[in-house]
Amino acid sequence: MAHRHLPLAVALVSCMAAPAAAQSGVGVAGAQVLQLPAGSRAPALAGAYTAGYGDADLLFYNPAGAAALDRAVSVAYQSYFEDIVAGSGAAVFRLGALVVGAGLVFLDAGEVAEIVPDPAYGGQRGMETGQTVTASENAARFAAAASLLDDRLRLGAAAGVVSSDLAGIIRSAPFFDIGAQYAVRELTVGAVLKNLGGAMTSDTADDATLPTEARFGASYQMILGQGGLGAALAADVFHRMQEGTSGLAVGLEGGLMATPELPLAAVVRAGVSVEAADEFLAPLRLGAGVAYGDIAVDYTYQSYDVLGSVHRFGLRWVRR
């Protein structure tokens, strides 16, 4: 890996290796893979998806949203820099009154230079040892959801396992999500508790607490005129328990929406997320999507400031 990309790699690996700690602040929690954007459409909306709708990626944001689906599959992939990649896949299907699903998200940091505290600077600076280490994380979850009150109220829960492999040190932990949505005409509100659990443990490394998070969100869909033109606005407020930080995410989508007469859709998206944890990120995300019938292709752009830009591509299928 080139040295000009080293700060991002170090940041990712440091988050993956973060030990449990009593104080608050960014980097306290481990399991960075549970905080990375997942899916295809949601990242362009800055992750404002607690009240989201319409695809299998809801498993990563609020399992309750899956209750409005019959069958759906999604995959997404993002290359950061050099060997660092991330991606996700999810699928849901209906079993009578119950909707069940499974999702997987992964982060692979490839090989990065090993850096240890430099005693010449009292351990306040790092120095390379000349060795390289590998780092990866993944999280698998299984979810179930159901709707009540003529499909206005949706309830869902997910259980999963997150694991990391940092230079051969393997840690893992179970986690749980629980959420709800309530829809009234074009407005949907949602709430979710994510990543509930203890800590990632290992016999050879410190424990790393899970990044437990509470989110409340709302989304509003509107038709702007004839011909299928429309827009959707989404917003989330969230609080990360271990870090003690809070934030706001807002996303907007607009363009040609699919109708029964014209199954073609073409939209542009923009999202802004403001939080202390975005140290390496510019707050703005931009994206676009094209759909025909049951299939949609999505793209998201995001800047990593001086390190450059990254691009996410995704594919969604929904049986309507």
Residue 312 lies in a domain: yes
| pLDDT of 21 | 36
| pLDDT (mean) for 102-124 | 81
Share above pLDDT 70 across residues of the chain, in percent, rounded to a whole number: 84
Q: State how far the Cα of 25 lies from the Cα of 99, in Å rounded to an integer.
A: 37
Closest CA to 316 of 262, 250, 258: 258
Residue 117 lies in a domain: yes
Q: State how far the Cα of 129 lies from the Cα of 140, in Å rounded to an integer.
A: 34
Residue 26 lies in a domain: no
| pLDDT of 282 | 61
- The alpha carbons of the chain give a radius of gyration, in whole angstroms, of 20
| pLDDT (mean) for 102-118 | 83
Residue 24 lies in a domain: no
Residue found under tokens 């950061």: 80
Residue 203 lies in a domain: yes
With a cut of 90, say whether residue 97 has pLDDT above it.
Answer: yes
- Identify which has the larger pLDDT, 111 or 89: 89
Residue 53 lies in a domain: yes
Which of 15-24, 95-104, 203-212, 282-291 is the most confident on average? 95-104
Candidate from 85-94, 221-230, 244-253, 281-290 with smallest mean pLDDT: 221-230
Place 28 in a pLDDT band, splitting at 50, 70 and 90: low
| pLDDT of 20 | 36
Domain CATH for 142: 2.40.160.60
Contact 287, 311 (CB under 8 A): no
Share above pLDDT 90 across residues of the chain, in percent, rounded to a whole number: 57
- Identify which has the larger pLDDT, 65 or 1: 65
Provide the 10 A C-beta neighbour count for residue 214.
16
| pLDDT (mean) for 207-220 | 93
Residue 9 lies in a domain: yes
With a cut of 70, say whether residue 277 has pLDDT above it.
Answer: no
| pLDDT of 281 | 53
Q: Give tens-digit pLDDT for 42-88.
A: 999 999 999 998 999 999 999 999 999 999 999 999 987 767 899 99
Stated as kind and residue range, the H or E segment containing 289 is strand 284-292
| pLDDT of 37 | 86
Phi and psi torsions of 101, nearest 5°: -160, 170
Closest CA to 107 of 74, 131, 134: 134
- Identify which has the larger pLDDT, 55 or 132: 55
| pLDDT of 188 | 97
Contact 83, 111 (CB under 8 A): yes
Mean pLDDT of the chain: 85
| pLDDT of 96 | 93
Specify the number of domains making up the chain.
1
Residue 21 lies in a domain: no
Provide the 10 A C-beta neighbour count for residue 22.
5
Range of the domain at 154: 3-16+32-319
| pLDDT of 305 | 67
